[in-house]
């Protein structure tokens, strides 16, 4: 097999295996060598890297990763793709293929088994229907990743990179920017996939921070506040925090506490920076 980014060769391969795309599994396969190169360059893969790929599909990205990295573990949910992957990956002895649902898999267990517990890079052209839960798992479960390089729907990428006060700014922004530094790698038109999705995409690198940009006393409490702040975007900060039940301070005391921190209680929560949210969480809990 010469190139899986050739639409004709990919279609022939899939037809030979009697494979039909599943819309509900977010199957849009990449057929553009230039974008593939940009993903590999953006992920800065070298011969020492251990790479976890989610959703290898027919193996296009997997092959490119395996030729640059020390080892690749690829997790694919769709059983029908396993014989196809066995064929496309047969020349590589550094790929472990795991048939599983990434949302249910014990990822730390996999890292221990396949990577001897060492840190890894996540690289994936993600299925769009579960982009956010996948990324949140990696961020919140303390998995030892160095960076996450993912193709995601344009709108989701914009939420991850958003600045405070914009419509895209929300709890995903705060979680992503608390743990990582986003870096835009390239914009991707829908036409580079078979079949083309309804949305455009962006390849984004999320480089793990050595430590969070703000000091937070209680991480769970901080994220509870973040969730509360964005759940009622139109209300004032004072009303949102009071109504959320995350603390049992009376409204007047809460007002004084916010004013004492130099934060206007009548502001909308979405105008708060990550620093402001950390300040409030540290004072509240």
- What's the per-residue H, E or C state across the chain? CCCCCCHHHHHHHHHHCCCCCCCCCCCCEECCHHHHHHHHHHCCCCCCCEEEEECCCCCHHHHHHHCCCCEEEEEECCHHHHHHHHHHCCCCCCEEEEECCCCCCCHHHHHHHHHCCCCEEEEEECCHHHHHHHHHHHHHCCCCEEEEEEEEEHHHHHHHHCCCCCCCCCHHHHHHHHHEEEEEEEEECHHHEECCCCCCEEEEEEEECCCCCCCCCCHHHHHHHHHHHHHCCCCEHHHHHHHHCCCCCCHHHHHHHHHHCCCCCCCEHHHCCHHHHHHHHHHHC
* Least separation in angstroms between CB 101 and ligand SAM: 4
User: Which CB sits closer to ligand SAM, 127 or 269?
Assistant: 127
Draw the binding track, 79-108, toward ligand SAM (x: CB under 6 A; -: no contact).
Answer: --x-------------------xxx-----
Least distance from ligand SAM to the Cβ atom of residue 118, Å: 22
Contact pick of 27, 131, 153, 173 for ligand SAM (by CB under 6 A): 27
> Quick one: which segment of 123-131, 136-144, 219-227, 259-267 binds ligand SAM (CB under 6 A)?
123-131
| Minimum gap (Å) between residue 127 Cβ and ligand SAM | 4
Asked if 51 and 216 count as a contact pair (C-beta separation under 8 A), the reply is no
Interaction between residue 55 and ligand SAM (CB under 6 A): yes
Q: Is 76 in the site for ligand SAM (CB under 6 A)?
A: yes
Q: Which residues of 31-53 are buried (b: 16+ CB within 10 A; e: fewer)?
A: bbeebbebbbebbebeeebbbbb
- Minimum distance, C-beta of residue 28 to ligand SAM, in the bound complex (Å): 5
Q: Nearest residue to ligand SAM, using CB?
A: 55
Is 74 a binding residue for ligand SAM by CB under 6 A? The answer is: no
As measured in angstroms, the least distance from the Cβ of 103 to ligand SAM is: 5
For ligand SAM, the closer CB: 17 or 217: 17
Shortest separation between residue 201's beta carbon and ligand SAM, angstroms: 9
Least spacing, CB of residue 70 vs ligand SAM, in Å: 20
Tell me, by CB under 6 A, how many residues bind ligand SAM: 23
Of 105 and 249, CB closest to ligand SAM: 105
Q: Site residues (CB under 6 A) for ligand SAM?
A: 25-30, 54-57, 60-61, 75-78, 81, 101-103, 125, 127, 130
């Amino acid at each position: 097999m010469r190139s899986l980014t050739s639409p004709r060769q990919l279609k022939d391969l899939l037809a030979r295996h009697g494979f039909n795309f599943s819309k509900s599994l977010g199957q849009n396969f990449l057929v553009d060598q230039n974008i593939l190169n940009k993903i590999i360059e953006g992920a800065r893969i070298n011969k020492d890297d251990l790479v976890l790929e989610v959703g290898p599909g027919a193996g296009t990205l997997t092959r490119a990763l395996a030729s640059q990295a020390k080892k690749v573990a690829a997790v694919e949910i769709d059983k029908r793709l396993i014989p196809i992957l066995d064929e496309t990956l047969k020349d590589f002895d550094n790929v472990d293929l795991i048939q599983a649902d990434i949302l249910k898999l014990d990822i730390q267990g996999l890292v221990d088994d396949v990577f001897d517990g060492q840190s890894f890079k996540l690289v994936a052209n993600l299925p769009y229907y579960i982009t956010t839960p996948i990324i949140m798992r990696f961020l919140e479960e303390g998995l030892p990743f160095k960076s996450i390089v993912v193709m995601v729907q344009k709108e989701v990428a914009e939420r991850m990179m958003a600045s405070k006060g914009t419509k895209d700014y929300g709890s995903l922004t705060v979680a992503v920017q608390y743990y990582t530094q986003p870096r835009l790698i390239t914009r991707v038109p829908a036409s580079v996939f078979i079949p083309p999705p309804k949305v455009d995409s962006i390849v984004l690198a999320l480089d793990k921070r050595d430590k969070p940009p703000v000091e937070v006393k209680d991480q769970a409490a901080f994220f509870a506040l973040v969730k509360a702040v964005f759940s009622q975007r139109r209300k004032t900060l004072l009303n949102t925090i009071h109504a959320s039940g995350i603390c049992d301070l009376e409204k007047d005391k809460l007002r004084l506490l916010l004013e004492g921190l130099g934060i206007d209680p009548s502001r909308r929560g979405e105008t708060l920076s990550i620093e402001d949210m950390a300040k409030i969480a540290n004072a509240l809990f």
